[in-house]
Structure 1
């Protein structure tokens, strides 16, 4: 069996994630002693003995929709956001005078992965609703790399998951060279999943109880306040973006 919480796991959040998993495991009465870290996220998500992981909304509604069981949606501690949803911040260099993402239509958008709701689908959906697309793009492999590419002048704008941005702003020095100019429309927050063969109900209950039992400090570190009453259909209703054939900078 494996469990992983890879979406917001880094040295500054690892201990809080460990305590969350131990709370889930204690209440379930089974599961691996430790979270799996590193490696290919797809191997975690599609593992036949997966107990619990967290994925992104775009992979969930495309490749994973018939391969895993939906457990729950998290409630993130984000202002002006519907429960169980999240949004991305458009970030640019602090010294760039442009204040509207539409002004960056011909600039370089740095994104983490083409399978990312927050870094790719959300900004392109925001642009499409306003009659344009970010056509010059640069894949970076991670939100932290996309933000750094903007700070270093290799790209001009990026859409960073708001919870990830909070962590970057706290712990990455280059964040001081960036500023937020807008946010994307909210979409369902990164879902917790389990193997297709498992009953998600007891896992959902254990996760909710473990979250409630976390210290206020751990909940603040993770930006979590509970679970939302969302269903898989809430994710499947979100349009899928065009996948970039290659970086076009």
Structure 2
């Protein structure tokens, strides 16, 4: 029976989804593990995907990963290393704080604008912008927020339609759109980029045999060593997959708690 694979977190458009499908097809052949690609499209909860017993490979955000007890987490396979400067050659990412390209406002106005967020357990779409805002001088008034917008495309749409003034977009999702669907980003501009944190990682169900996990993990970790693997990675803006530092994800809840303390009840 095939295991399921899903790139839902980074399915930013049809062309990009096709590239992920190609990576999973390569991974299936290279590892010898049969994988069936599924969409698990929004608004289906990602938590249901991550809990599937037949999960072979899917992206999982670091924040919900860190929230689970160690013995209940999916098994970490590998983490992508972006070629973008904000990654610094490591399995890290950031969030771009974005606004409409022609919107005019002073940076001091940021706390008083309407902020969009994706889902509450998203590091890039919720906790990163809260951390950014917590570091700004601001009036002691609640922040106006709009959400859940579900994903980066929801943030793009909300800015385009005037529902929000600013929002956060996963910097790797932005990179994929910039590479393959730049027209989506044309109405936007980046006004800031948050500090880097551990990037979402590919995980498998804890129910998979150790041999299966090892085959998938090793195939990903050596992808950059073959011409075919390099080509697939380059098409997705990646230099390689790396062994994730699982302990690094445990810093994310502490960052969120600090934002809570600084923002109090304002967001």
TMscore range, shorter length? 0.7 to 0.9
Classify 1:23/1:3 alpha carbon distance in 2 versus 1 (closer, same or farther; 3 Å). Answer: same
In terms of fraction of residues, the more helix-rich structure is 2
- Corresponding residue for 2:105? 98
- Corresponding residue for 1:205? 218
Classify 1:72/1:64 alpha carbon distance in 2 versus 1 (closer, same or farther; 3 Å). Answer: farther
User: Which of 136, 147, 168 pairs up with 2:156?
Assistant: 147
Classify 1:134/1:29 alpha carbon distance in 2 versus 1 (closer, same or farther; 3 Å). Answer: farther
Normalised by the length of structure 2, the TM-score is 0.81
Rounded to whole Å, the distance in 2 between the matches of 1:94 and 1:113 is 24
| Per-residue deviation, residues 163-220 of structure 1 (Å, max 9, x unmatched) | 2123444526453221111101100011111111333433211112345444655333
Residue 110 (1) aligns with residue 116 (2)? yes
Rounded to whole Å, the distance in 2 between the matches of 1:25 and 1:13 is 18
TM-align CA RMSD: 2.7
- Corresponding residue for 2:263? none
Rounded to whole Å, the distance in 1 between the matches of 2:121 and 2:237 is 23
Aligned pairs, number:
244
- Corresponding residue for 1:192? 202
Question: What are structure 2's unaligned runs of at least 5 residues?
Answer: 261-265
User: Which of 77, 87, 97 pairs up with 1:81?
Assistant: 87
Where do residues 10-49 of structure 1 align in structure 2 (5 Å cutoff)? 10-32=13-35, 34-39=36-41, 40=44, 41-49=46-54
**1:8–1:222 CA contact under 8 A, matched in 2:** no
**1:44–1:50 CA contact under 8 A, matched in 2:** yes
Normalised by the length of structure 1, the TM-score is 0.86
Classify 1:43/1:211 alpha carbon distance in 2 versus 1 (closer, same or farther; 3 Å). Answer: farther
Rounded to whole Å, the distance in 2 between the matches of 1:207 and 1:215 is 9
Q: What secondary structure sits across from 2:47 in the alignment?
A: helix
Rounded to whole Å, the distance in 2 between the matches of 1:47 and 1:4 is 11
